[in-house]
A and B are shown apart, each in its own frame.
Chain A
Amino acid sequence: MGAGRLYAAVAAGGFRRYATYRAATAAGVFTNTAFGLILVYTYRALWDEKPHLGGYDQAQAVTYVWLGQALLSTLAIGGGGVEDELMERIRTGDVAIDLYRPVDLQMWWLAADLGRAFFQLLGRGLVPFAFGALFFPAYLPTDAGTWVALLVALLLAMLVGFGIRYLVALSAFWLLDGTGVSQMAWLLGYFCSGMLLPLNVFPGALGEVVRALPWSSLLQAPADVLLGHADPLRTYLFQGAWAAVLLGAGRLLQSVATRRVVVQGG
């Protein structure tokens, strides 16, 4: 089997695996919609107070909220991606079996995570977004080009998201129990991705810093592409650069880890 087909099969497996739990998916849709509802009212109050805050009008702020709810589980911003399982495999020593396989560790988990992300986008993301677009005055671009541009930005966001989480997971080679690191990672991700508040609303220097960090590729970058607030090509360049840096760092760390670390066994 060719390498491309192999990773496609792994990704399809990741997709199907998450698609199995229908009740859990429905519950997730409900919860995302409920949180979106709370957030959308607070944002509307905020934009009532100060129209054009951060360069968005109120309809754009509404779209931002529902895009955020759609991407929360897709990009595993609050945790819940494949990194939990990889960490557990490193802790128990099962990762030795993964290293035996004639495939690349990073590519294998990337494929699995992309499969998961695509399912979460379709299964958990679409409904809250449609709900928001239907019941609130949201900004929706009418040209198909913007939506295609959004899809490309989302794909790059998935790569960056995985790049960050893979580094977090590999820390388990040294720490064994990665609970603390992953908790810190999702806290940072939540705050710096713009999930709590759009990054262009952040004041002064803090805003400059968070917009330059990799997490801004996750929600802020796709949102700006959808809302016509940023040039897609420049956004892709930013996201692509971070994806390359993070995935490269992951590859480097992986080679150090597999050479130096003794696998736990029992």
Chain B
Amino acid sequence: MGEGGRVREGARAYLLIAGMWMRSTMAYRFSFAMTTFGNFTATFFDFVAIMLMFSRVDALGGYALPEVAFLYGLSAVSFGLADLVIGSMERLGRRVRDGTLDTLLVRPAPVLAQVAADRFALRRMGRVVQGALVLGWSLTRVDIDWTVGKLLLMPVILVSGFGIFCSVFVAGAAFQFVAQDASEVQNAFTYGGTTLLQYPPTVFAKELVRGVTFVLPLAFVNWLPATYVLGRPYPLSLPEWVAFAPPLVAAGCCALAGLAWRTGLRSYRSTGS
């Protein structure tokens, strides 16, 4: 079977499993509504904290509230989509510990698709909706000198950001094959990553900005393309075309994460119980 065939097979398995979990969730509609609302509120509080900050100051790192909201919205939507689609992978450590991963290995479907769709939770839409609302609000307030290039770049930013965060989730899951108990480390990069990107890059130390630009390229999720759209200088001197690099970076990240996943899966030794 070719690579294309495997991808199609994986997508089919993913949709089947995710659909099953959705039907199971919908059996308890009230609980679903409650938890979706909870998810929405939890992320909303993040933004409330930013609004409270701006109730006392006019700018943070030289950025006004609509501009911070623009960064926040891009980061929250990209991360929210990745969390919705494959966020369940952060639970892999538990399956490794109790040996239930074995069940997934004997099924005739790609393991990655099964782990990603495991306990698919539609309530995570709450975060996406909240991020989209903030992004929409910021677009009505922020002063952008729109060009065709910038307009076309907007959907590209979201899709690439989604890809980058997906690769963080997959790499994190691959790490859990080795780390098991230490699965919380992943949170520093997933939840920590999206929190970091919600604030302007000018707020952080140069070394930290360098780290998330060149080592773990989270800056390509929103910082680099968004500073271009806003017409603001990026703290590091980089050529302008870098703003259009997110798709390439996302593809590279996904390839590396895939490699890490295969290595991790190959190293898996069942608990045997």
Contacts and interface: CB of A to CB of B under 8 A. Distances in A.
A53 B58 CA distance: 13
Contacts, number: 98
A50 interface: yes
Contacts of B57: 46, 49-50, 53
A167 interface: no
A45 B59 CA distance: 9
A92 interface: no
B192 A35 contact: yes
B60 interface: yes
A187 B188 CA distance: 19
Contacts of B184: 24, 27-28, 30-31
Q: How large is the interface on A (under 10, 10 to 19, 20 to 34, 35 or more residues)?
A: 20 to 34
Interface string A38-58: 100110111001100100000
Nearest to A24: B181
A9 interface: no
B208 interface: yes
Contact of A196 (B34, B45, B180): B45
A249 interface: no
Contacts of A22: 181
B182 A27 contact: yes
Nearest to A41: B204
Interface stretch (A83-91, A114-122, A176-184, A251-259): A176-184
A178 B47 CA distance: 26
B188 A30 contact: yes
Given A24-B182, A180-B31, A196 B49 contact: yes
B35 interface: yes
A42 B199 contact: yes
A3 interface: no
A41 B34 contact: no
A37 interface: yes
Contact of A35 (B52, B53, B195): B195
B208 A37 contact: yes
B185 A27 contact: yes
Given A31-B184, A31-B192, A53-B56, A187 B38 contact: yes
A144 interface: no
A203 interface: yes
Nearest to B49: A196
Interface string B44-70: 011011001101111111000000000
A190 B195 CA distance: 15
Interface residues of B, number: 38
A248 to B, nearest CB: 29
Interface in A72-102: none
Contact of A197 (B53, B192, B204): B53
Given A26-B182, A31-B184, A187 B41 contact: yes
Nearest to A33: B188
A38 B196 contact: yes
A31 B187 contact: yes
Nearest to A34: B188
B169 to A, nearest CB: 16
A50 B56 contact: yes
A26 B183 CA distance: 10
Contacts of B7: none
A187 B52 contact: no
B16 interface: no
A42 B60 contact: yes
B15 interface: no
A197 B53 CA distance: 8
Nearest to A37: B208
B52 A203 contact: yes
A202 interface: yes
A183 B52 contact: no
A28 B181 CA distance: 10
Nearest to B189: A34
A120 B35 CA distance: 29
A262 interface: no
A37 B181 CA distance: 23
B35 A179 contact: yes
A180 B195 contact: no
- Top-3 shortest CB links A-B: A34-B188, A27-B182, A23-B181
Interface of A: 21-24, 26-28, 30-31, 34-35, 37-38, 41-42, 44-46, 49-50, 53, 177, 179-180, 183-184, 187, 190-191, 196-197, 201-203
Interface of B: 31, 34-35, 38, 41-42, 45-46, 48-49, 52-53, 55-61, 179-185, 187-189, 192, 195-196, 199, 202-205, 208
5 contacts: A22-B181, A24-B184, A27-B179, A30-B184, A49-B60
Given A27-B182, A35-B192, A42-B199, 17 more contacts: A23-B182, A27-B179, A27-B181, A31-B184, A31-B185, A31-B187, A31-B188, A34-B188, A34-B192, A41-B199, A44-B203, A45-B199, A45-B202, A46-B57, A180-B38, A183-B42, A191-B48
